[in-house]
């Protein structure tokens, strides 16, 4: 076992930790730092339950080795809002009843925030009409494609799309 000292910011707080070189960011968050809002679903990058924002970009934390995050800024669902002051996307999910069991919700919310930032930056999707232009309208089809890496076993997709649409422009 090879261990590394690592400094990174999680939810705007500096953490200095020692991690096994094989430990994923997800396992660092959940097991070492006890930030259990980020969920372990498939542990293969297929379900999106572990989605966090890494330097502002959404990633599947089960696929990221913690040692690659030296100096990085990680935002988990715990860093988005508080019980008294929810993040606007969290509030939209509540308002639109965009969850059932809630297991995928932290990843869905982090992914939605990252996805809206991608749109603002002009990152195209597979259904974008142009690779050079930001979609004129972020519609249901575009949102469904961009969120396709986040699975909901309960099938709350309609309400998830509505929650995201409520936060557009």
Taking the C-alpha atoms of residue 77 and residue 54, their distance in angstroms, rounded to an integer, is 12
Q: Which fold has domain 88-165?
A: DNA polymerase; domain 1 (1.10.150)
pLDDT tens profile 23-82: 999 999 999 999 999 999 999 999 999 999 999 999 999 999 999 999 999 999 999 998
Instruction: Say whether pLDDT at 134 is over 70.
Output: no
Taking the C-alpha atoms of residue 58 and residue 108, their distance in angstroms, rounded to an integer, is 10
Q: Which CATH superfamily is domain 3-79 in?
A: Beta-grasp domain (3.10.20.30)
pLDDT value of position 121: 87
DSSP secondary structure string, 38-65? Answer: S--SSSSSSS-TTEEEETTEEEEGGGSB
Instruction: Say whether pLDDT at 143 is over 70.
Output: yes
For the chain, the domains span 3-79, 88-165
The residue with greater pLDDT, 19 or 127, is 19
pLDDT value of position 47: 96
Q: Cα-flanking dihedrals φ and ψ of residue 73, to 5°?
A: -110, 120
Q: How confident is the model at residue 122 (pLDDT cuts 50, 70, 90)?
A: confident
């Amino acid at each position: 076992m090879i261990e590394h000292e690592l400094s990174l910011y999680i939810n705007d707080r500096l953490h200095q930790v020692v991690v096994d070189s094989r430990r994923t960011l997800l396992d660092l968050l959940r097991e070492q730092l006890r930030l259990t809002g980020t969920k372990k679903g498939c542990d293969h990058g297929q379900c999106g339950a572990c989605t966090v924002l890494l330097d502002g970009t959404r990633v599947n934390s089960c696929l990221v080795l913690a040692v690659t995050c030296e100096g990085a800024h990680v935002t988990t669902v715990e860093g988005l809002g508080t019980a008294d002051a929810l993040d606007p996307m969290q509030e939209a999910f509540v308002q639109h009843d965009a969850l059932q069991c809630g297991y995928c919700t932290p990843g869905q919310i982090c992914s939605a925030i990252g996805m809206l930032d991608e749109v603002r930056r002009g990152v195209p999707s597979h259904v974008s009409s142009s690779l050079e232009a930001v979609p004129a309208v972020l519609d249901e089809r575009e949102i469904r494609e961009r969120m396709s890496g986040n699975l909901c076993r309960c099938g709350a997709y309609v309400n998830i799309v509505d929650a995201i649409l409520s936060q557009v422009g």
